[in-house]
Amino acid sequence: DGGITQSPKYLFRKEGQNVTLSCEQNLNHDAMYWYRQDPGQGLRLIYYSQIVNDFQKGDIAEGYSVSREKKESFPLTVTSAQKNPTAFYLCASSVGRRGEPGYGYTFGSGTRLTVV
Amino acid sequence: SQQGEEDPQALSIQEGENATMNCSYKTSINNLQWYRQNSGRGLVHLILIRSNEREKHSGRLRVTLDTSKKSSSLLITASRAADTASYFCATVPTGTASKLTFGTGTRLQVTL
């Protein structure tokens, strides 16, 4: 079955550590996205990529980094510079290419990151 | 930045009743989408309505869009306990090439 796989489901980070969240899709979608969700809140865009080897900052990119070396994969690194990383992280993908916004997103099941 | 604001923030109804959620947004859009999120899970795409459409149906869902008022509504008819979830509207602002901006969500509770 096609879909998006996020791993791990739960992740614990110590102060000062970098951690990487995995996102893999087998939908052949061009565009991929990372969102952060805080309790009782909507989703805020961290980074997005519409094509391999290219990505753009979203609304809250500080303290995060990404790469897009393969179409299927869009890992997110939460660096030690992110001062409040405890949140639920959601990865999504869509068919939409540049200038073609008329498609819905497919979401992964999320990674819950906690700082300990 | 949040583009959409849902109203109400929380809604509690009994099974069989209809549930209506509203969404307002700020800028011109290419399309508006509704998503559902069960607690602690990812979001599921429900329906997309384009800026030149006024109403769309999918099963028990009915979505309307009023671009002059920059608002949309989602109606779930004959609700079921399994409809209990948070519902989000999301917009693709004109010229942003498929980048979705989400609202804050409506938490729907359907009781037996």
Q: Per-residue pLDDT averaged across A101-109, rounded?
A: 85
In the prediction, which pLDDT does B100 show? 86
A99 has pLDDT over 50? no
For residue B96, give Cα distances in angstroms to A45, A46, B35, B91: 13, 15, 19, 10
Nearest-by-Cβ selection for B98 from A6, A43, A96: A96
| Listed residue (A69, A72, A74, A70) closest to A90, CA to CA | A74
**R_g (Cα) of chain B, nearest Å:** 13
Nearest-by-Cβ selection for A31 from B30, B40, B98: B98
Q: Do B40 and A112 touch (CB under 8 A)?
A: yes
18-77 of A, contacting B, C-beta below 8 A: 31, 33, 35, 41-45, 48, 50, 58-59
Q: Do B98 and A101 touch (CB under 8 A)?
A: yes
Looking at per-residue pLDDT, the higher value among A50 and B36 belongs to B36
In this prediction, residue B53 has a pLDDT band, given cuts at 50, 70 and 90, of: very high
In this prediction, residue A104 has a pLDDT band, given cuts at 50, 70 and 90, of: confident
In the prediction, which pLDDT does A83 show? 87
Distance CA A42, CA B76 (A): 21
In the prediction, which pLDDT does A96 show? 66
pLDDT, tens digit (0-9, with 9 covering 90-100), for B1-16: 456 788 899 999 999 9
pLDDT, tens digit (0-9, with 9 covering 90-100), for B61-108: 999 999 999 999 999 999 999 999 999 999 988 877 667 889 899 999
Q: Do B30 and A102 touch (CB under 8 A)?
A: yes
Element (H, E) at B75: strand B71-76
By the 8 A CB rule, do A80 and A16 touch? Answer: yes
Q: Do A105 and B100 touch (CB under 8 A)?
A: yes
The type of residue at B93 is P
Q: Per-residue pLDDT averaged across B29-51, rounded?
A: 93
DSSP B5-63: EEE-SEEEEETTS-EEEEEEESS-EEEEEEEEE-TTS-EEEEEEEETT-SEEEETTEEE
B25 has pLDDT over 60? yes
Q: What is the mean pLDDT of chain A?
A: 91
Structure tokens, B1: 């930045």
In this prediction, residue A39 has a pLDDT band, given cuts at 50, 70 and 90, of: confident
